[in-house]
Structure 1
Amino acid sequence: MAIFTEFLDKIDQPEHRARVEEVLNWVAEKYPELDRVVKWNQPMFTDHGTFIIGFSTAKTHLNVAPERAGILHFSEEIIESGYGHTKQLVQFPWNKPIDYSLIEKMIEYNISEKAECSTFWRK
Protein backbone atom coordinates (compact mmCIF):
# COMPACT_ATOMS: atom_id res chain seq x y z
CA MET A 1 0.00 0.00 0.00
CA ALA A 2 3.05 2.23 -0.17
CA ILE A 3 1.67 3.70 -3.39
CA PHE A 4 -1.04 5.46 -1.35
CA THR A 5 1.26 6.82 1.38
CA GLU A 6 1.65 10.29 -0.10
CA PHE A 7 -2.14 10.65 -0.46
CA LEU A 8 -2.74 9.46 3.10
CA ASP A 9 -0.05 11.75 4.52
CA LYS A 10 -1.91 14.77 3.15
CA ILE A 11 -5.05 14.02 5.20
CA ASP A 12 -4.83 16.34 8.22
CA GLN A 13 -7.38 14.70 10.50
CA PRO A 14 -5.91 11.51 12.03
CA GLU A 15 -9.35 9.90 12.29
CA HIS A 16 -10.06 10.59 8.63
CA ARG A 17 -6.65 9.28 7.58
CA ALA A 18 -7.25 6.09 9.58
CA ARG A 19 -10.69 5.65 7.99
CA VAL A 20 -9.36 6.09 4.45
CA GLU A 21 -6.48 3.73 5.14
CA GLU A 22 -8.93 1.16 6.51
CA VAL A 23 -11.08 1.37 3.37
CA LEU A 24 -8.11 1.19 1.00
CA ASN A 25 -6.70 -1.80 2.88
CA TRP A 26 -10.09 -3.51 2.79
CA VAL A 27 -10.33 -3.11 -1.00
CA ALA A 28 -6.72 -4.29 -1.47
CA GLU A 29 -7.29 -7.38 0.68
CA LYS A 30 -10.70 -8.22 -0.77
CA TYR A 31 -9.56 -7.68 -4.37
CA PRO A 32 -5.85 -8.50 -4.57
CA GLU A 33 -6.17 -8.89 -8.36
CA LEU A 34 -6.91 -5.19 -8.78
CA ASP A 35 -4.04 -2.84 -9.52
CA ARG A 36 -3.41 0.07 -7.18
CA VAL A 37 -2.75 3.41 -8.88
CA VAL A 38 -2.76 7.11 -8.10
CA LYS A 39 -4.18 9.38 -10.78
CA TRP A 40 -5.23 12.99 -10.40
CA ASN A 41 -3.85 12.78 -6.83
CA GLN A 42 -6.44 10.16 -5.90
CA PRO A 43 -6.06 6.49 -4.99
CA MET A 44 -7.77 4.19 -7.46
CA PHE A 45 -8.10 0.53 -8.22
CA THR A 46 -8.04 -0.68 -11.81
CA ASP A 47 -8.49 -3.96 -13.66
CA HIS A 48 -6.66 -4.62 -16.94
CA GLY A 49 -6.08 -0.86 -17.25
CA THR A 50 -9.70 0.16 -16.76
CA PHE A 51 -11.00 2.19 -13.82
CA ILE A 52 -12.93 0.24 -11.20
CA ILE A 53 -13.19 2.55 -8.16
CA GLY A 54 -11.53 5.66 -6.78
CA PHE A 55 -11.45 7.61 -3.54
CA SER A 56 -11.06 11.20 -2.43
CA THR A 57 -11.74 13.19 0.71
CA ALA A 58 -13.81 16.22 1.61
CA LYS A 59 -14.32 18.09 4.85
CA THR A 60 -17.41 16.14 5.87
CA HIS A 61 -17.08 12.83 4.03
CA LEU A 62 -15.10 10.22 2.14
CA ASN A 63 -15.93 10.21 -1.56
CA VAL A 64 -16.19 6.88 -3.34
CA ALA A 65 -16.29 7.06 -7.13
CA PRO A 66 -17.67 4.08 -9.06
CA GLU A 67 -18.16 6.11 -12.28
CA ARG A 68 -21.53 7.52 -13.28
CA ALA A 69 -22.83 4.12 -14.38
CA GLY A 70 -22.24 2.78 -10.87
CA ILE A 71 -24.05 5.73 -9.33
CA LEU A 72 -27.04 5.23 -11.62
CA HIS A 73 -27.13 1.48 -11.05
CA PHE A 74 -27.03 1.78 -7.24
CA SER A 75 -28.83 5.11 -6.79
CA GLU A 76 -31.77 3.71 -4.82
CA GLU A 77 -29.54 1.63 -2.59
CA ILE A 78 -27.25 4.62 -1.96
CA ILE A 79 -30.24 6.74 -0.90
CA GLU A 80 -31.73 3.92 1.20
CA SER A 81 -28.37 3.57 2.98
CA GLY A 82 -28.58 7.25 3.95
CA TYR A 83 -25.62 8.41 1.89
CA GLY A 84 -25.54 11.42 -0.36
CA HIS A 85 -24.29 11.26 -3.91
CA THR A 86 -23.52 13.39 -6.92
CA LYS A 87 -23.36 12.29 -10.55
CA GLN A 88 -19.93 10.74 -9.95
CA LEU A 89 -19.46 10.24 -6.18
CA VAL A 90 -21.01 8.51 -3.20
CA GLN A 91 -20.46 10.52 -0.02
CA PHE A 92 -19.73 8.47 3.10
CA PRO A 93 -19.88 10.88 6.09
CA TRP A 94 -16.96 10.70 8.50
CA ASN A 95 -19.34 10.28 11.44
CA LYS A 96 -21.19 7.23 10.03
CA PRO A 97 -20.05 3.63 9.56
CA ILE A 98 -18.86 2.58 6.12
CA ASP A 99 -21.24 0.25 4.29
CA TYR A 100 -18.65 -2.16 2.92
CA SER A 101 -21.33 -4.28 1.28
CA LEU A 102 -22.32 -1.31 -0.90
CA ILE A 103 -18.69 -0.68 -1.88
CA GLU A 104 -18.32 -4.38 -2.64
CA LYS A 105 -21.38 -4.32 -4.90
CA MET A 106 -20.05 -1.28 -6.77
CA ILE A 107 -16.67 -2.93 -7.28
CA GLU A 108 -18.22 -6.23 -8.40
CA TYR A 109 -20.52 -4.37 -10.79
CA ASN A 110 -17.63 -2.50 -12.40
CA ILE A 111 -15.42 -5.59 -12.66
CA SER A 112 -18.24 -7.45 -14.39
CA GLU A 113 -19.52 -4.62 -16.57
CA LYS A 114 -16.04 -3.55 -17.67
CA ALA A 115 -14.60 -7.02 -18.29
CA GLU A 116 -14.34 -6.32 -22.01
CA CYS A 117 -13.62 -2.59 -21.67
CA SER A 118 -10.37 -1.50 -23.28
CA THR A 119 -10.41 2.13 -22.12
CA PHE A 120 -9.83 3.67 -18.70
CA TRP A 121 -13.29 5.28 -18.52
CA ARG A 122 -16.51 3.97 -20.01
CA LYS A 123 -17.40 5.46 -23.36
Structure 2
Amino acid sequence: MKSEVAKSIDEYIGRFPKDVQDILQKVRSIIQKEAPEASEAISYAMPTFVQNGNLVHFAAYAKHIGFYALPSGNLAFQKEISKYKNGKGSIQFPLDEPIPYTLIKKIVKFRVSENLEKQKKKTQKKKTTNSKKPILKKS
Protein backbone atom coordinates (compact mmCIF):
# COMPACT_ATOMS: atom_id res chain seq x y z
CA MET A 1 0.00 0.00 0.00
CA LYS A 2 1.30 3.42 -0.96
CA SER A 3 1.57 5.84 1.95
CA GLU A 4 -0.61 8.91 1.71
CA VAL A 5 1.00 12.27 0.95
CA ALA A 6 1.12 14.59 3.94
CA LYS A 7 -1.26 17.53 3.76
CA SER A 8 1.03 19.94 5.65
CA ILE A 9 4.65 20.31 6.64
CA ASP A 10 3.69 19.67 10.28
CA GLU A 11 2.10 16.36 9.28
CA TYR A 12 5.12 15.47 7.12
CA ILE A 13 7.62 16.14 9.92
CA GLY A 14 5.45 14.31 12.46
CA ARG A 15 5.90 11.04 10.56
CA PHE A 16 9.59 10.73 11.43
CA PRO A 17 11.54 9.72 14.56
CA LYS A 18 12.21 12.53 17.06
CA ASP A 19 15.86 13.03 16.06
CA VAL A 20 14.92 13.44 12.38
CA GLN A 21 11.98 15.68 13.32
CA ASP A 22 14.42 17.98 15.12
CA ILE A 23 16.59 18.28 12.00
CA LEU A 24 13.58 18.88 9.74
CA GLN A 25 12.22 21.53 12.10
CA LYS A 26 15.60 23.28 12.16
CA VAL A 27 15.76 23.27 8.34
CA ARG A 28 12.19 24.60 8.24
CA SER A 29 12.95 27.38 10.73
CA ILE A 30 16.04 28.47 8.77
CA ILE A 31 13.93 28.73 5.61
CA GLN A 32 11.19 30.62 7.46
CA LYS A 33 13.76 33.07 8.84
CA GLU A 34 15.53 33.65 5.52
CA ALA A 35 12.32 33.73 3.46
CA PRO A 36 9.69 35.23 5.78
CA GLU A 37 7.35 36.02 2.87
CA ALA A 38 7.45 32.49 1.47
CA SER A 39 4.45 30.25 1.86
CA GLU A 40 4.58 26.61 2.86
CA ALA A 41 3.23 23.83 0.69
CA ILE A 42 3.62 20.16 -0.04
CA SER A 43 4.84 19.62 -3.59
CA TYR A 44 6.23 16.41 -5.05
CA ALA A 45 5.20 14.92 -1.65
CA MET A 46 7.87 17.08 0.05
CA PRO A 47 7.84 20.18 2.23
CA THR A 48 8.17 23.12 -0.15
CA PHE A 49 8.56 26.85 0.24
CA VAL A 50 7.16 29.07 -2.49
CA GLN A 51 7.97 32.72 -3.14
CA ASN A 52 7.67 33.95 -6.71
CA GLY A 53 7.86 30.30 -7.74
CA ASN A 54 9.33 27.29 -5.97
CA LEU A 55 12.10 28.34 -3.63
CA VAL A 56 13.35 25.10 -2.05
CA HIS A 57 12.11 21.64 -1.11
CA PHE A 58 13.45 19.30 1.58
CA ALA A 59 12.73 15.73 2.61
CA ALA A 60 13.88 13.02 4.98
CA TYR A 61 15.04 9.59 3.90
CA ALA A 62 16.45 6.58 5.74
CA LYS A 63 20.06 7.82 5.67
CA HIS A 64 19.96 11.46 4.58
CA ILE A 65 18.09 14.74 4.35
CA GLY A 66 17.43 15.72 0.76
CA PHE A 67 17.61 19.43 0.00
CA TYR A 68 16.41 20.67 -3.36
CA ALA A 69 17.46 24.18 -4.37
CA LEU A 70 16.83 23.63 -8.09
CA PRO A 71 19.78 23.53 -10.49
CA SER A 72 20.65 27.20 -9.99
CA GLY A 73 21.06 26.79 -6.23
CA ASN A 74 23.43 23.90 -6.74
CA LEU A 75 25.42 25.69 -9.44
CA ALA A 76 25.92 28.74 -7.23
CA PHE A 77 27.32 26.62 -4.41
CA GLN A 78 29.20 23.91 -6.33
CA LYS A 79 32.32 24.18 -4.20
CA GLU A 80 30.43 24.02 -0.88
CA ILE A 81 28.23 21.09 -1.88
CA SER A 82 30.98 19.07 -3.57
CA LYS A 83 31.61 17.00 -0.44
CA TYR A 84 27.98 15.79 -0.44
CA LYS A 85 26.25 13.50 -2.88
CA ASN A 86 24.45 15.85 -5.24
CA GLY A 87 22.70 15.94 -8.56
CA LYS A 88 21.38 18.59 -10.92
CA GLY A 89 19.10 20.12 -8.29
CA SER A 90 19.54 17.93 -5.23
CA ILE A 91 21.91 17.60 -2.30
CA GLN A 92 22.03 14.74 0.21
CA PHE A 93 23.10 15.57 3.74
CA PRO A 94 23.89 12.28 5.56
CA LEU A 95 22.08 11.82 8.87
CA ASP A 96 25.24 10.43 10.47
CA GLU A 97 27.13 13.70 9.88
CA PRO A 98 26.45 17.23 11.13
CA ILE A 99 23.84 18.97 8.97
CA PRO A 100 25.38 22.11 7.35
CA TYR A 101 22.74 24.58 8.52
CA THR A 102 24.89 27.60 7.58
CA LEU A 103 25.12 26.32 4.00
CA ILE A 104 21.35 25.76 3.90
CA LYS A 105 20.90 29.36 5.08
CA LYS A 106 23.19 30.68 2.31
CA ILE A 107 21.41 28.66 -0.36
CA VAL A 108 17.97 29.85 0.77
CA LYS A 109 19.14 33.49 0.76
CA PHE A 110 20.47 32.99 -2.76
CA ARG A 111 17.22 31.43 -3.98
CA VAL A 112 15.12 34.23 -2.45
CA SER A 113 17.16 36.91 -4.21
CA GLU A 114 17.17 34.90 -7.44
CA ASN A 115 13.38 34.52 -7.42
CA LEU A 116 12.89 38.21 -6.56
CA GLU A 117 15.13 39.17 -9.47
CA LYS A 118 13.17 36.90 -11.83
CA GLN A 119 9.93 38.48 -10.63
CA LYS A 120 11.30 42.00 -11.22
CA LYS A 121 12.34 41.10 -14.77
CA LYS A 122 8.95 39.52 -15.43
CA THR A 123 7.16 42.63 -14.16
CA GLN A 124 9.40 44.94 -16.21
CA LYS A 125 8.83 42.84 -19.32
CA LYS A 126 5.06 43.06 -18.83
CA LYS A 127 5.23 46.85 -18.45
CA THR A 128 7.38 47.14 -21.58
CA THR A 129 5.07 44.86 -23.56
CA ASN A 130 1.97 46.74 -22.42
CA SER A 131 3.50 50.13 -23.23
CA LYS A 132 4.23 49.02 -26.81
CA LYS A 133 0.62 48.13 -27.57
CA PRO A 134 -0.88 50.52 -30.13
CA ILE A 135 -3.55 52.87 -28.95
CA LEU A 136 -6.70 52.36 -30.97
CA LYS A 137 -8.65 55.44 -31.82
CA LYS A 138 -12.43 55.35 -32.09
CA SER A 139 -13.76 56.57 -35.39
Any idea what the Cα deviations from partners look like across 1:26-68, whole Å, max 9, x if unmatched? 32234322111111221111113x0111101221100110001
Kindly indicate whether residue 109 of structure 2 is the aligned counterpart of residue 72 of structure 1.
Answer: no
Distance 2:110 2:93 in 1: 19
Distance 1:108 1:32 in 2: 11
Distance 2:108 2:25 in 1: 17
Q: Which sections of structure 2, spanning at least 5 residues, go unmatched?
A: 1-6, 123-139
Q: Which sections of structure 1, spanning at least 5 residues, go unmatched?
A: 119-123
TM-score normalised to the size of structure 2? 0.71
What percent identity do the matched residue pairs reach? 23
Of structures 1 and 2, the larger Rg is shown by: 2
SS in 2 for 1:114: helix
Moved over 4 A (4+): none
Kindly indicate whether residue 19 of structure 2 is the aligned counterpart of residue 15 of structure 1.
Answer: yes
TM-score normalised to the size of structure 1? 0.80
Q: Between Structure 1 and Structure 2, how many residues are aligned?
A: 113
Matches within 5 A, 1:31-70: 31-48=35-52, 50-70=53-73
Do the aligned residues in 1 keep the contact of 2:69 with 2:111 (CA within 8 Å)? yes
